């Protein structure tokens, strides 16, 4: 499996290109601001053909170049319906400080010609790669993660069962912010509890910003996950045993 990633734009948003190998069709994950040239460089280097774009959520730093990249390669853009409106109106999801950064610029956004909506627990077969969609709201209402089996035949000595593109749900040592329009902290914690802590430790995590990590590493060191684990243990230990027998 080929996974090429690079940070793009002023927010350092990680964009990923995924394919079964060189000379194949590929999927682009989260082409944010200034990502189009990086995608073109990866496509040219590995002789790839983008056929789909996966959007983890609709924030402007993750979707800025969705329409240009989709248009350049006649690719389908996939996004959760709860965030779809942000493709054409990304200003609805940004903070005042981000709006200030963009002040004075002339920007126009529109949906790509071909948009498909994601569903929770959906399995997608794109460019020969299988992706499992998990709806993980909290950072935005339509935030999702994508998991794909990792092909161990590549010769890697790393014991990895899957790769998860986590968007802004989970980072190395942190989690996504919830103070932007549509964000909700209790919902974020539920997504982490139900859709992250239930996963095996050997899943590699490729986040929307920052360095690669793993579920096991975050379970052991991430203060937000450790607090969720502590709370779960406290609730479990304080719950009376069920009445069984006489």
- Quick check: 126 pLDDT over 50? yes
Q: Tell me, yes or no, if the pTM score tops 0.75.
A: yes
Between 110 and 95, the more confident residue is 110
Tokens of 1: 């499996």
What integer pLDDT is reported at residue 105 of this predicted model?
61
Q: Which residues contact 197 (CB under 8 A, 6 or more apart)?
A: 219, 225, 228, 229
What integer pLDDT is reported at residue 143 of this predicted model?
98
pLDDT tens string 69-95: 999 999 999 999 999 999 998 888 877
- Quick check: 237 pLDDT over 60? no
| Domain limits, the chain | 2-94+107-238
CB-based contact 29:38 (threshold 8 Å): no
pLDDT band of residue 159 (cuts 50, 70, 90) is confident
pLDDT tens string 30-64: 999 999 999 999 999 999 999 999 999 999 999 99
HEC per residue, 179-238: CCCCCCHHHHHHHHHHHCCCCCCCEEEEECCCCCEEHHHHHHHCHHHHHHHHHHHHHHHH
The Cβ-side half-sphere exposure at 127, using a 13 Å CA radius, reads 27
**Would you give the DSSP letter of residue 140?**
S
The Cβ-side half-sphere exposure at 37, using a 13 Å CA radius, reads 5
Pick the CATH number of 2-94+107-238 from 3.90.1170.10, 3.40.47.10, 3.60.15.10, 3.40.190.10: 3.60.15.10
Q: Which residues pair with 77 in a beta bridge?
A: 53, 115
What integer pLDDT is reported at residue 110 of this predicted model?
87
DSSP 50-67: EEEEE-S---HHHHTTHH
Pairwise CA distance, residues 232 & 228, whole Å:
6
CB-based contact 66:53 (threshold 8 Å): yes
Average the pLDDT over 198-213 and give the result: 97
pLDDT band of residue 101 (cuts 50, 70, 90) is low
pLDDT band of residue 243 (cuts 50, 70, 90) is very low
């Amino acid at each position: 499996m080929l996974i090429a990633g690079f940070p793009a734009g002023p927010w350092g948003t990680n964009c990923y290109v995924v394919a079964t190998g060189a000379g194949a069709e590929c999927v682009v994950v989260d082409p944010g601001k200034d990502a189009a040239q990086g995608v073109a460089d990866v496509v040219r280097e590995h002789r790839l053909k983008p056929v789909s774009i996966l959007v983890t959520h609709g924030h402007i730093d993750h979707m800025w170049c969705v329409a240009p990249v989709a248009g350049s390669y006649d690719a389908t853009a996939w996004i959760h319906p709860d965030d779809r409106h942000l493709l054409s109106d990304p200003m609805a999801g940004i903070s005042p400080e981000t709006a200030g950064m963009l002040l004075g610029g002339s920007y126009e956004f529109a949906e790509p010609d071909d948009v498909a909506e994601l569903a929770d627990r959906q399995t997608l077969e794109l460019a020969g790669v299988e992706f499992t969609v998990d709806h993980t709201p909290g950072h935005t209402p339509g935030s999702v993660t994508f998991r794909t089996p990792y092909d161990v035949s590549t010769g890697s000595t790393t014991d990895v069962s899957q790769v998860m593109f986590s968007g802004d749900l989970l980072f190395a040592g942190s989690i996504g912010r919830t103070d932007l329009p549509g964000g909700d902290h209790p919902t974020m914690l539920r997504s982490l509890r139900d859709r992250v802590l239930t996963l095996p430790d050997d899943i590699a995590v490729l986040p929307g910003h920052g360095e690669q990590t793993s579920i096991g590493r975050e379970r052991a060191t991430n203060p937000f996950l450790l607090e969720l684990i502590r709370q779960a243990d406290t609730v479990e230990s304080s719950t009376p045993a069920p009445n069984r027998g006489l």
